[in-house]
């Protein structure tokens, strides 16, 4: 056992006890605690929310190796990779409809003729990581390729041999057994496969995975699929907000991939979407075609100050602390006693939103440095009592507060 790995487990288990996550049964079940510790030792990834790109939102099943390669190239050339967007994740429809004669998954020859190993080599040569998709059922959700149910160890070995770094694991066409049991089987298989693979569970929040998925994986979907609409973003944000206390380093609530740049919302709505996902410590997985992304889209996705909030080492999910008539205050603690806040206007008209320092756990009398993370400017270096902003409809203001 490497000393660094052991220290990591100790730190995370201490963090768990501090956060009081006894509802995960870590403290009440020695077997659960052992499972959790073993998972961390075998995995040791996602200490901050994963960042990257996923093919599904924009391309769905219309993918091939040329698209994946050119997307990897674009992540590098646009500077996105340098900001932390490292995972290049292939979603559904990458494999042949049937397994080969040995029972192995096989890349679809018409769209991935070079195979997944060669694709992983290409992506990793650019300093990136390759992700892949499977399902805890007999078929994947597209019904166009086999799932991994009953083949967990075989498929985990295959993914490791190919050099896969990330597995998104869906929940379609299953046998009706408990999702927890089926997801645990793949977790154990990944541990035995001999390669650290980030494990992302996708059962759409139906069985409250926040309560148990941290024992087995690094991220879990808390909701159904996102859509490129304002209504979808606010609904999913509210659903994901419920589960904040279960998230932390190595395990994250996942409100689904980003829709920024896909064209269904305004720039202000996309900026709000990105701000709230960042504050909630959600995985930041780009869902648009980065090869043709507009300057406005890239300005949102490349906001380093907002990304830094998401990637803060403290790893505490921000939450909604107040809502009235569509005017909301969201906030979350950061390292070095800082606080990030989002003043979010869900209403249809411009409005003032205020928050006091006392409401955020800060002394109202001490001066606070207030930095606007979208204008990249200091609102004040000596602000007392609180802050008020006039916010356009469907827009937000995101501030970093640094107390003395």
Task: State residue 36's pLDDT score.
Answer: 60
Q: What is the mean pLDDT of residues 357-366?
A: 95
Q: Residue 264: is its pLDDT beyond 80?
A: yes
Active site residue 225: yes
Q: Which of 6-15, 58-67, 80-89, 296-305 has the lowest mean pLDDT?
A: 6-15
- Which carries the bigger pLDDT value, residue 24 or residue 137? 137
Please say whether the beta carbons of 216 and 35 come within 8 A.
Answer: yes
Task: State residue 111's pLDDT score.
Answer: 99
Task: State residue 1's pLDDT score.
Answer: 39
In this prediction, residue 22 has a pLDDT band, given cuts at 50, 70 and 90, of very low
| CA geometry: angle 307, 347, 396, nearest 5 deg | 20
HEC string of 78-93 equals CCCHHHCCCEEECCCC
Q: Which of 170, 254, 256, 312 is catalytic?
A: 170
Active site residue 254: no
Task: State residue 44's pLDDT score.
Answer: 75
> What's the rounded Cα separation, in Å, for the pair 365 and 386?
10
**Mean pLDDT, rounded, of the chain:** 92
Please say whether the beta carbons of 340 and 332 come within 8 A.
Answer: yes
pLDDT in tens, 306-333: 999 999 999 999 999 999 999 999 999 9
Where helices occur in 151-218 by DSSP H, the ranges are 152-162, 179-192
Closest C-alpha among 12, 386, 25, 343 to residue 212: 25
How many Å is the maximal CA-CA distance in the chain?
Answer: 72
> What's the rounded Cα separation, in Å, for the pair 399 and 377?
10
Q: Which residues contact 227 (CB under 8 A, 6 or more apart)?
A: 259, 264
Q: Which of 73, 121, 208, 225 is catalytic?
A: 225
Task: State residue 278's pLDDT score.
Answer: 99
pLDDT in tens, 107-162: 999 999 999 999 999 999 999 999 999 999 999 999 999 999 999 999 999 999 99
Q: Which of 41-55, 92-106, 288-302, 355-369 has the lowest mean pLDDT?
A: 41-55
Task: State residue 39's pLDDT score.
Answer: 60
Q: Output the six-digit token pair for 111.
A: 């769209």
Strand extents, DSSP E, 23-178: 51-54, 87-89, 129-135, 166-170
Q: Residue 33: is its pLDDT beyond 70?
A: no
DSSP state of 244: G
Task: State residue 15's pLDDT score.
Answer: 44
pLDDT in tens, 167-212: 999 999 999 999 999 999 999 999 999 999 999 999 999 999 999 9
pLDDT in tens, 364-390: 999 999 999 999 999 988 899 999 999
pTM: 0.92
Task: State residue 29's pLDDT score.
Answer: 54
> What's the rounded Cα separation, in Å, for the pair 15 and 9?
10
pLDDT in tens, 216-262: 999 999 999 999 999 999 999 999 999 999 999 999 999 999 999 99
Per-residue burial over 129-164, b = 16 or more CB atoms within 10 Å of its CB, e = otherwise: bbbbbbbbbbbbbbeebbbbbebbbbbbbbbbebbb
Closest C-alpha among 191, 108, 174 to residue 136: 174
Assign 97 to helix, strand or coil. coil
């Amino acid at each position: 056992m490497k000393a660094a790995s052991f220290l990591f487990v100790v730190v995370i288990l201490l963090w768990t006890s501090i956060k009081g996550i006894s509802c995960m049964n870590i403290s009440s079940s020695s077997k659960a605690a052992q499972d959790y510790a073993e998972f961390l030792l075998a995995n040791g990834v996602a200490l901050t929310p994963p960042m990257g790109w996923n093919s599904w939102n924009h391309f769905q099943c219309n993918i091939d190796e040329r698209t994946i390669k050119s997307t990897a190239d674009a992540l590098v050339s646009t500077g996105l990779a340098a900001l932390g967007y490292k995972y290049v994740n292939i979603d559904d429809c990458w494999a042949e409809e049937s397994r080969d004669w040995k029972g192995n998954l096989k890349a679809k020859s018409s769209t991935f003729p070079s195979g997944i190993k060669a694709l992983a080599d290409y992506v990793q040569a650019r300093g990136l990581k390759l992700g892949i998709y499977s399902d805890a059922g007999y078929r994947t959700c597209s019904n166009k390729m086999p799932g991994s149910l009953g083949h967990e160890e075989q498929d985990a070995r295959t993914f490791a041999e190919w050099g896969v770094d990330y597995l998104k694991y869906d929940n379609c066409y299953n046998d009706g057994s408990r999702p927890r049991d089926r997801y645990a089987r793949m977790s154990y298989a990944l541990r035995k496969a001999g390669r650290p693979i980030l494990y992302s569970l996708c059962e759409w929040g139906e069985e409250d995975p926040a309560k148990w998925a941290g024992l087995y994986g690094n991220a879990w979907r808390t909701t159904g699929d996102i859509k490129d609409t304002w209504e979808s973003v606010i609904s999913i944000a509210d659903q994901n907000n419920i589960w904040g206390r279960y998230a932390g380093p190595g395990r994250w609530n996942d409100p689904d991939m980003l829709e920024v740049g896909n064209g269904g919302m305004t720039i202000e709505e996309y900026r709000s979407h990105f701000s709230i996902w960042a504050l909630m410590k959600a995985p930041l997985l780009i869902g648009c075609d980065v090869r043709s992304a507009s300057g406005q889209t890239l300005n949102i996705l490349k906001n380093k100050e907002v990304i830094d909030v998401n990637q803060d080492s403290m790893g505490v999910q921000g939450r909604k602390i107040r809502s009235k008539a569509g005017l909301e205050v969201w906030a979350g603690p950061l390292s070095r006693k800082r606080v990030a806040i989002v003043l979010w206007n869900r209403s249809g008209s411009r409005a003032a939103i205020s928050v006091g320092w006392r409401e955020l756990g800060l002394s109202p009398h001490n001066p606070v440095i207030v930095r606007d993370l979208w204008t990249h400017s200091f609102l004040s270096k000596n602000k007392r009592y609180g802050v008020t902003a006039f916010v356009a409809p469907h827009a937000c203001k995101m501030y970093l507060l640094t107390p003395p």
